[in-house]
Amino acid sequence: ERSGTERSGTGKSGTGKPGTGKPAQPGTFVLSGGTVVDENAARAADVVVRGGVIVEIGPRGEVARPAGATVLDAQGCLVTPGLVDLHTHLREPGGEEAETIQTGARAAAMGGYTAVVAMPNTEPAMDCASVVRYVLERARGACCEVAPSGSITLGRKGTALTEMAEMAALGVRIFTDDGAGVADASLMRRAMEYATGVGAVIADHCEEPSLAGKGCMNEGAVSSALGLPGRPAVSEEVMVLRDIALARATGARLHLLHLSAEASVAAVRLAKAAGVAVTAEVAPHHLVLVDEELRSYQTVFKVNPPLRTGADVAALRAALADGAIDAVATDHAPHPPEAKDVAFCDAAPGMVGLETALAVLLTELVDEKAIDALVHLSGEVAFRGNPEGIVNILGAMSWRPSRIAGLWPRHGGPLEVGAPANLCVIDPARRWRVEPAEFASRSRNTPFAGRELVGRVRHTIFNGDPVVVAEEAQR
């Protein structure tokens, strides 16, 4: 079922739910009435898609509609390159009770993603060519592109390197033992050298295990008050500093996963200034939630690295704004109910995020006036440098992660004639309430249940196929 979940709705701002009805003739359609935004410019324009590619972009309301084409309403919306998630747990193989490649891809499409990087902490781990081939085969016909990552060490056990070249030959561009850092510095150095030789990126989960210990939340005043063991921010900082030093020594491309601490982003900022080839990501929950949330003992707030302090959140937001952090990645981590319905310290860490990430950021980080200025744009505005506000958020969720993952310009590239039609249409004024029971994901472990958010995806176009369409937004 390539149209996502079995939902329907009006597609109008402020009412209903996003629909998944598909146009009668998906081969040729017009996205009408929107504002096209990519990394170069914003312009009031209509977009014509035929045969999987963009065939025309012209001034809003002035584009001739091909005979028989379906019109998809984008009025009041932003038409952007599809979102790209650098950090998605699809659980398959081995954890299908929480998620499958197909259900995770549907969830991604509902959230505006046209590509996701699947993390390798599956069972068995994605540590060899045969498992990568399995994932690629299972991803055929999915609602978005699924790009497997490969693990750095066999079984993610941190003792022996994988055959990266064999996985790289299948298209793997990111290697990580996500869920655990590579504690052995000598092994990580060799991994970086090996990855450089096959043109890949090393991505690390930065927590030094002897410092993180068995902590289940941020170490600080709140953990002391609650009597829960803490994971100190310095456990992340130490690993970040070590990895940066190794990347400088080897010339490797290093990507730092889900940073959460003020000191970590300070280190990244200095490394970039020194010319180290390092990029970094932050998860939406680390931008908007703090450790005070855990006073409720609700396990939906348990995540690794843990939610930290208000000072850390402020530092992460500043780093996202000034470019020290390159990307927002969901760290979508689905779990079945029994993994969360236990004592806090025994609960599995992680949150689902594919269907809420964009809306959370639009609600919490973007000024409504800035959004209105784009939506009501009548001409064209070219971007220079690092745009602020919503364009920076889109860059962090689309074109910058796409480059890190080696998916650019197929995903995240400029919207121009001849470009692949991997698109996302966002209604930034749409108000909606998070109802986990309606998720396309198999899992419901979200900390945002019941919250009202502003901004929602109206349409998602993958390889020219409208995989998510608001039913009453087509004619």
Q: Which of these is catalytic: 177, 204, 243, 331?
A: 331
Token code pair at residue 123? 């069972």
- Distance CA(1)–CA(294), nearest Å, equals 38
- Distance CA(370)–CA(360), nearest Å, equals 16
- Distance CA(196)–CA(10), nearest Å, equals 49
End-to-end CA distance of the chain, in Å? Answer: 22
- Residue owning tokens 């993958």: 462
Burial class (CB in 10 A: 0-12, 13-18, 19+), 24: exposed
- Distance CA(42)–CA(57), nearest Å, equals 12
CB atoms within 10 A of CB 209: 14
What's the one-letter identity of residue 289? Answer: L
Q: Phi, psi at residue 332, to the nearest 5°?
A: -55, 110
- Distance CA(293)–CA(309), nearest Å, equals 10
Distance of CA 307 to the CA centre of its chain: 18
CA dihedral over 13, 20, 81, 443, signed as positive or negative: positive
State the pairing for strand pair 78-81/174-176.
unpaired
Answer yes or no: 331 catalytic: yes
Element (H, E) at 58: strand 53-59
Q: What is the largest CA-CA distance in the chain?
A: 68
In order of 54, 80, 93, 133, 261, the CA distances from 351 in angstroms are 35, 26, 19, 27, 18
Gyration radius of the chain over CA positions: 21
- Distance CA(93)–CA(88), nearest Å, equals 14
Token code pair at residue 241? 């500093």
Element (H, E) at 338: helix 337-340
The answer to whether 117 touches 405, Cβ cutoff 8 Å, is: yes
CA dihedral over 30, 33, 36, 41, signed as positive or negative: positive
* Residues known to be catalytic: 331
